[in-house]
Amino acid sequence: MDTVARRITLEGKGWQFDAGPETTVLVAAEQAGIRLPSSCRNGTCRTCLCQLRSGSVRYQIDWPGLSLDEKREGYILPCVALAETDLTVIAPAARKIA
């Protein structure tokens, strides 16, 4: 069983946090005191949409709310994305939780 945490870097912010193999990027960010925009938390509403600069993810659901073009351009939905490798993500709306 894979238990290695992945390092996630928010490009342009300089913030980093770790995510376990079964923890979504969104939940891992929250646990590290970082708020990413979110609403439905099931891959439907697209509120959390951000762009993956490097690394790879897999999804908790079969077909997250992304078009094929968006997937090709590196967009991900952190609410249902699980990091398979270390990631660098562009999330301009990320904020520190007070």
- Count of beta carbons in the 10 Å neighbourhood of residue 80: 22
What is 6-96's CATH topology? Ubiquitin-like (UB roll) (3.10.20)
For the record, the structure tokens of 54 come out as: 């490097």
Prediction pTM value: 0.93
Which residues, given as ranges, of the chain have pLDDT below 50? none
What is the tens place of the pLDDT at every residue in 49-74?
999 999 999 999 887 789 999 999 99
Domain map of the chain by residue range? Answer: 6-96
Q: Please, what's the b/e burial string for 8-47 (b: 16 or more CB within 10 A of its CB; e: otherwise)?
A: bbbbeeebebebbeebbbbbbbbeeebebbbeebebeebe
Which pLDDT does position 1 carry in this prediction?
65
Which pLDDT does position 25 carry in this prediction?
98
